[in-house]
Amino acid sequence: MNSFQYSRAQDVADAVRQSAADGSAKFIAGGTNLVDLMKYEVERPARLIDISHLPLRAIEEPPGGGLRVGALVPNSDLAWHPQVKERYPLLSSAILAGASTQLRNMASTGGNLLQRTRCLYFYDVATPCNKRKPGSGCAAVGGINRINAILGTSDVCIATHPSDMCVALAALDATVHVVGPEGERAIAMTDFHRLPGDTPERDTNLGANEIVTAIALPARSFRTHYTYLKIRDRLSYAFALVAVAAALEIEGGIIREARLALGGVAHKPWRDPEAEAVLVGQSAERNTFAKAASVVLRDAKGFGHNDFKIDLARRTIIRALDQAAQGTPQSQSDKRIA
Amino acid sequence: MTSYIGTATSRIDGRDKVTGTARYAAEFGAPDLAYASLVTSPIARGRLKRLDVTAALKVQGVITVLSHQNRPSMADNDKAYKDQVAPRNGSPFRPLYDDGIKFSGQPVAVVLAEDLETASYAASLVHVAYDEEPHVTDITRQRYNGMALKAPAKPRGDATKAFSESDARHEADYFVPIEHHNPMELYASTAIWNDGRITVYDKTQGVQNVHGYLCGVFECDPGDIRVMSPYVGGAFGSGLRPPFQVALAVLAARAISRSVRLVLTRQQMYAIGYRPAMIQRIQLGAKADGSLNAISHDAVTSTSEYEDFHRNETTWSSLLYRSETAKYDHKLVRLDLPTGCDMRAPSAATGVYALEAAMDELAEALKMDPIELRLKCYSDRDQSNGLPFSSKNLRECYRQGAETFGWSRRNPAPRSMREGHEFIGWGMATGVWEALQMPIAVRIALTSNGHAEVSCATADIGTGTYTIMAQVAADMLGLPLEAISIKLGDSTLPQAPVEGGSWMAASVSNGIVTTSQAIRDDLLKLAQRLPGSPLKGRSGDEVVLANGAIALKTDGRDATAIADVMRSAGIDRIEREERTTFAKDDAHAHNTHSAIFAEVRVDEDIGVIRVTRVVSAVAAGRILNLKTARSQIMGGVVWGMGMALHEETLIDHRFGRMMNANIAEYHVPVNADVHDVDVIFVDEQDEFVNPMGIKGLGEIGIVGVPAAIANAVYHATGVRVRDLPITLDKLTRKA
């Protein structure tokens, strides 16, 4: 770990100011990912700006419906909040599928968005990685890539986005509120994270000195027909091989509205409007689900060890849509797949 | 008087552990403590070309940077580096000795600083250039380039011919990847400097092994170094040999004449030892009635370029089942990795996995129940030497295990049992390990206030050694458990072997018996001096220590309080140290056995595997403590689940580097993976193995579990996965 300066931000404006004044500063809240990365020498910030005490811990109902979640709300508080459990069970379920109780207690909502992508080589500074060191090469292509991406990859990076929460937020069409030197702006969740392209060093579209202040959930909450189905190598405390957030509105057996987002398969939570369009207006049955899965995976590409993810994703999408349609969401405590 | 032996006694060190007063190697300190951080090699083979420490030395708080160029002197011969557990052949790794690079992760420099943060930051500023040489780390590439070992048992008959003439045949390769121990406690050594003498607090399974090693490496007198290890947070074999951090901590203390602490990171721990990768080929041939005609077991295991580490995987198929013919082969492959080491049930966890998975496949070929096949081939003698077992109650393990599990309700057809989306699979396997004991010395100091201190340089690596020692001493000295205190984990205490091989419970318990008998005899002599003593003319064998008194064994009458005996004699302390050796019993084979039954549930579409029930029925002689024994077996079962489903160290062979050297990406089972684990101790009395009839439990718990789960996965899905771990992608891959 490198030697660094530490300062506390007085308020959001001060945080932005301090960040702008020091090009290699990082904000720290729960630190559950950043501190690990510093220990591995992957991140070497010259300054940590502590934002953990800023007043961004509220969960509020704004006029016009929906829910506004402060960026510093701990993951556990968000998952167990009565409004979230009641109205947005997909979000609650996704959060509880991730990490461990201890990590969820520590991790903030904004920090969850800003977890760095996952790849064995990104975390090992003794190996090449275009994300860590642009131009050094991608060791995962042709290397150990069982956990890597199958969708939206580029020649220079096949890392995967690690969050469960973000997959649900993408499915729910959440909006990320940020503040920067130019003032406030809102970014659609689906635009917040990036595909690697030829700039894999950038995980998100957050500006250099911008800070996440809140997540806004729209009124539509899919509280009846939803599921978060996460498939992993052990039954808890492991990242997703494939995760599917599915949310449907069904009337008389016909799908009126459909949301489908995937985790563990791409550099960002993967939404596919074309696949959702395939579902809408169709009867909620296996054939329909299989068609949607085929559309989602039409351009999927494996890199050897992760080839299995394509078929696994297909099966998981179908099961998740079936769970959602049946109203039998996946339990995150009993690991038996409903 | 109640006896403690055989009861479910809670750990006597439990309170200290849960309240944090039990101190581990990295928790000891000194006012002059300096902190060490390692710089390690990213290349697998070659030479260190250039070392630039300029930037590191400029950091405030850095004391020095040690490398092979400026280190204090170390021994220059292999013998000095050979610890008690070192492989016979080879040249042990010498940390910071020269510019040679033998494995990725090898320490090349030690940064010393006033605090840990400064040391680790400065370590990141050390720039090293290497001359890289080609390396090989892939066992599959070297499979046919191995050296033949003499280890396997002699062949019996013509196994090739018998196999080809068998009614039913099975032949397959079984692969086990590199696995790491991952004990919870990080490897650490704190070397306390005291005017040239050093006390090292170390995480180890054998303080005297580390002591001898350090005296050899640093060419110093035994009195100059003392090694202490009062508590160990798991080791599982990784702490049998002295890891490089203990030599480096002492080297650093000698370099700066100060106390030094070195704690390895989780990633660095991956370079100190692991279960080697291996490929095993098994051939089984049987007559139609299930009796075996032929067993053939070929093992290819891996070691480093500099030492020949191996255990004998084929041993287990050479002893377990009756077969007319048999042949064995073991080849050792060299890879550019650190030397592997013992890991829970070394050779049996792996060898029995291959044998027992193959037996399941043979049972299927014979259309025979897996237990029936094993009973058909059941042997009351070790098949490799014809010796009868000192005791073997495996039949009862099968019977009780099957009954508890409900095996008779099993539909033998794969994919025949299901509930909802899940296929249910039931599998079983046999487990076997050896029952050993080692020479040991125990000191007991009995004081007239009714307290006894028992000392021995053994280790308690989390298994409960403190507790069983106290139980045995309490029973033998006739004192309550609370009156016994245990001292262990100190190289100056009476001689003990390393704690491994499942031999410590038997060794130290019998050692305590020997010394207790010496104490008893002393007391008897003193008691006989009392006027009118009813014990006059009696021998030690005729009396017993019970309820704080010495009395006749026959009826317990005529008891005289120990305190009175000692007071009358005018002494307040009796201290004896005795060495216990064990008569060689050449007339028997000595083994523990088990039968494992596992239930898995596998999702029909997704392939997620859940182990919902395990029954382990164990025959392991006398059980000293039902509580710690059960925990031992449960731990073994959970580890067997990890071996079956989760554990694999991934090496990128292009870099010769372990890529998942952390506990986020190297998976072991978590609570959600563990459901019902039922442990049965089958009654087994053994009058030959050692006077107390103790066989040891450290290893047997894991043996057979991976095969039982693999067999259950097959029964659930109809898919045989013969390369561990059985991850869900392997259930759907194309052949």
pLDDT in tens, A119-176: 999 999 999 999 999 999 999 999 999 999 999 999 999 999 999 999 999 999 999 9
Chain A residues within 8 Å of chain B (Cβ atoms):
1-3, 39, 41, 120-121, 123-124, 126-127, 139, 142-144, 146-147, 231, 233-239, 241, 308, 311-312, 315-316, 318-319, 335-338
Could you report the per-residue pLDDT of B503-543, keeping only the tens digit for each? 999 999 999 999 999 999 999 999 999 998 889 999 999 99
pLDDT of residue A334: 86
Contact status, residue B474 vs residue B480, Cβ threshold 8 Å: yes
Structural domains of chain A ordered from first start: 14-48 (no CATH), 225-326 (3.30.390.50)
- Would you call B121 and A124 a contact, using CB atoms and an 8 Å cutoff? no
What is the spatial distance between Cα B462 and Cα B16, in angstroms, rounded to a whole number?
Answer: 13
φ, ψ of residue B550 in degrees (nearest 5): -110, 135
Could you report the per-residue pLDDT of A47-63, keeping only the tens digit for each? 999 999 999 999 999 99
User: Which residues of B does the annotation mark as catalytic?
Assistant: 699
**To probe the interface with A, which of B612, B665, B666, B724 has the most A CB atoms within 10 Å?**
B665
Chain B residues within 8 Å of chain A (Cβ atoms):
42, 59, 104, 117-118, 120-121, 124, 265, 420-422, 601, 603, 605-608, 610, 645-646, 650, 652, 654-655, 657, 659-660, 662, 664-665, 667, 669-673, 727-729, 732-733
Could you report the per-residue pLDDT of B343-368, keeping only the tens digit for each? 999 999 999 999 999 999 999 999 99
pTM for the model: 0.97
What is the spatial distance between Cα B16 and Cα B27, in angstroms, rounded to a whole number?
Answer: 14
- Would you call B124 and A2 a contact, using CB atoms and an 8 Å cutoff? yes
CA closest to A231 among chain B residues:
B608
Average confidence (pLDDT) over B471-489: 97
Query: Tokens 């050297």 belong to which residue?
Result: B661
- Would you call B610 and A235 a contact, using CB atoms and an 8 Å cutoff? yes
CA closest to B651 among chain A residues:
A144
Query: Tokens 């016994």 belong to which residue?
Result: B484
- Helix H, strand E, coil C: the string for B79-90 is HHHCCCCCCCCE
Could you report the per-residue pLDDT of B220-264, keeping only the tens digit for each? 999 999 999 999 999 999 999 999 999 999 999 999 999 999 999
Instruction: Name the β-bridge partners of B328.
Output: B297
pLDDT over 70 for what percent of chain A?
Answer: 100
Could you report the per-residue pLDDT of B138-190, keeping only the tens digit for each? 999 999 999 999 888 899 999 999 999 999 999 999 999 999 999 999 999 99
Report chain A residues whose CB lies below 8 A from the CB of B728: 231, 233, 241, 312
pLDDT of residue B707: 98
Report chain A residues whose CB lies below 8 A from the CB of B56: none
Report chain B residues whose CB lies below 8 A from the CB of A286: none
- What is the residue-averaged pLDDT of chain B? 97
Cα Rg of chain A (Å, integer): 19
DSSP string, A257-313: EEEEEEESSSSS-EE-HHHHHHHTTSBSSHHHHHHHHHHHTTT----STTTHHHHHH
Is it true that the peptide bond before A128 is cis, omega within 30 degrees of 0?
no
- Would you call B729 and A308 a contact, using CB atoms and an 8 Å cutoff? yes
- Would you call B605 and A126 a contact, using CB atoms and an 8 Å cutoff? no
- Would you call B729 and A335 a contact, using CB atoms and an 8 Å cutoff? no
Could you report the per-residue pLDDT of B365-391, keeping only the tens digit for each? 999 999 999 999 999 999 999 999 999
* Banded pLDDT at B735 (limits 50, 70, 90): low
Give me the residue from A2, A126, A312 closest to B657, CB to CB.
Answer: A126
Query: B627 is written with which tokens?
Result: 């509580």
* Banded pLDDT at A182 (limits 50, 70, 90): very high
Structural domains of chain B ordered from first start: 18-134+188-235+239-269 (3.90.1170.50), 278-436+586-731 (3.30.365.10), 438-580 (3.30.365.10)
- Would you call B121 and A2 a contact, using CB atoms and an 8 Å cutoff? yes
φ, ψ of residue A222 in degrees (nearest 5): 55, 50
The sign of the dihedral angle between the CA atoms of B618, B620, B626, B631 is: negative
What is the spatial distance between Cα B731 and Cα B718, in angstroms, rounded to a whole number?
Answer: 9
Could you report the per-residue pLDDT of B272-312, keeping only the tens digit for each? 999 999 999 999 999 999 999 999 999 999 999 999 999 99
CA closest to A146 among chain B residues:
B729
H/E element, B126: none
Distance from the Cα of A236 to chain B's closest Cα (Å) equals 6
Distance from the Cα of B350 to chain A's closest Cα (Å) equals 21
